[in-house]
Amino acid sequence: MPSKALIEVANAFHRRKVFDAFGVSGAEELTVDIPAVLRRVRRLRDDFVAGMLKLTDELKDSCIDGRARFLDAQMLAVGERRVHAKKIIIATGSRPVVPRNGRNSAQGY
């Protein structure tokens, strides 16, 4: 998770503030090499993405790439293709919603 990889670096650097209490000295000399941090985060991100792409590649013909819509409870349309299944799991994710204004403006979403 790229964001968590970045937060982990921040936490590690922040820990230098308690080194004195532990009897570890020299913390004030520590610095952060931001380009190096971001190179690592991007490398991890690329590994995560490559892993997911490999998984979907391994699905071969079972993986159908396209926008799906229901024709009925057991039939999907993906482009020109029709997919019939006894059971269909909807895993379309979610999107954040920014309330328009005010404390109660999120009501009704």
Instruction: List contacts with ligand FAD (CB under 6 A).
Output: 1, 3-4, 67-68, 91-93
Q: Which is nearer to ligand FAD, 26 or 93 (CB)?
A: 93
Strand partners, 75: 72, 84
Least spacing, CB of residue 1 vs ligand FAD, in Å: 3
Q: Which amino acid is at 10?
A: A
Least spacing, CB of residue 40 vs ligand FAD, in Å: 15
Q: Which is nearer to ligand FAD, 4 or 100 (CB)?
A: 4
Least spacing, CB of residue 38 vs ligand FAD, in Å: 15
Q: Which is nearer to ligand FAD, 35 or 93 (CB)?
A: 93
Q: Which amino acid is at 56?
A: T
What's the number of CA atoms in the CB half-sphere (13 Å) around residue 63?
A: 10
CA–CA separation, 39 vs 10, rounded Å?
15
Start-to-end CA span in the chain (Å): 28
